[in-house]
Structure 1
């Protein structure tokens, strides 16, 4: 389980296991990501988020080491900062971080770690990292980045609202700096877990 403020996501990873013939890939593991809302059934938005999360995870998982197998990553939303809408961008970054921690905890081979960072661009141009639901509603644009640890490159980016190229670059630089804190959190969490 990973919590960021009032947003909490539980990650469960199953596999590598034998894949169904229809989903089997001859050269790598088939990765499936399932995103479950706090209440109700998954809808169109959840399916879209699942695809974004799957593509991000596939970029770092060394699936070639487990050909013809299936890996299923289930992300269950436990709480979402009191937000009515499942489309909150802060939830996506929490899901990205929970996914990486789940992959890491399961011991799946990864080429690199990644993290999710959400930035809100206020009406006056100020950048707010890890915004609340209210700050997201008031923002001119909300951007979420998945950042690779080794090269600090962007694995995924989403934008809700409008911003200039320069503002997007400023948000990216802020997100890359903030990523160091999350990667340190990963290290500290693993250190605590391994020292027990």
Structure 2
């Protein structure tokens, strides 16, 4: 049985209304992993993009360095699908709502696929080290894939920006990331369960942990049905729906079932944290 590892050093950092020239903005991060999102709209739309029965929704993911590549375009399309499922676009027909997302943290250092010596010869390593090298291999330039924690913070920052802009929604979306890795590869700052085994599940992993993880996963959930007039009944009325799931690496069915339950609990904690941030801003 895998054990969830918790840490006090990666508490969430959330804020809204931090950009002056945007209709809505939000920032969300864990430790050094921080994402920023801004929303413009509803505004006038070009005739070629105009929709008669709903607003046009566009998502732009702006990389911190380099130019947008295939992973950037793919992640923008995924964000458009996730939030397109909860936005009430029919409330603002013939307009445009644009969401811009950017990760403000420094990208992780890339590593080559094959270990080379000083004389350009391949280094002979053990099977375990070779497999770990393949897991930590990353492409360079605009083809660098997004980290799981980077995708989760981007979803949460986007949710804060949409709420700050006053865009009507049918649900609140929160995301979390998980990584399956060896206990020896987990950060020493984490509080280890005394009954943990050699393999563990880390919630909201750091870039260093993702680099040596066996598999990484991202989950986004939609929370709806909350009645502010009856806050005592929120746990019974809130409906939770899985909107998005992405995985990289090797995992089995037992791990995925456990990861889903852990991610749902963590996303529920994110939901309450985002609501507390909004309540503190409103008061």
- Give TM class, smaller chain: over 0.9
TM-score when normalising by structure 1: 0.93
**What RMSD over aligned residues (CA atoms) do the two structures have, in Å?**
1.5
Q: Deviations over 1:108-132 (max 9, x none)?
A: 0000001111011125442110011
Give secondary structure in 2 for the equivalent of 1:14. strand
2:236 corresponds to 1:162? no
Comparing 80-89 with 141-150, which one deviates more in the overlay? 80-89
Once residues 264 and 104 of structure 2 are traced to their aligned partners in structure 1, the CA distance between those partners, rounded to angstroms, is: 27
Structure 2: stretches of 5+ with no match in the other structure: 1-26, 111-143, 183-197, 225-238
Once residues 79 and 157 of structure 1 are traced to their aligned partners in structure 2, the CA distance between those partners, rounded to angstroms, is: 23
> What does 1:104-119 correspond to in 2, within 5 Å?
104-119=163-178
Note if contact 2:220-2:267 (Cα within 8 Å) is conserved in structure 1: no
Structure 1: stretches of 5+ with no match in the other structure: none
Q: Deviations over 1:128-171 (max 9, x none)?
A: 10011121122211110111113222101101112112211111
Note if contact 1:83-1:133 (Cα within 8 Å) is conserved in structure 2: no
Query: Which structure has greater helix proportion?
Result: 1
Q: Deviations over 1:18-73 (max 9, x none)?
A: 21111122221111111111122211111111011111010111101111211000
Deviation (angstroms), 1:82:
4.4
TM-score when normalising by structure 2: 0.66
Give secondary structure in 2 for the equivalent of 1:152. strand
2:144 corresponds to 1:144? no
Note if contact 1:6-1:81 (Cα within 8 Å) is conserved in structure 2: no
Note if contact 2:57-2:80 (Cα within 8 Å) is conserved in structure 1: yes
Q: Which residue of 2 aligns with 1:101?
A: 160
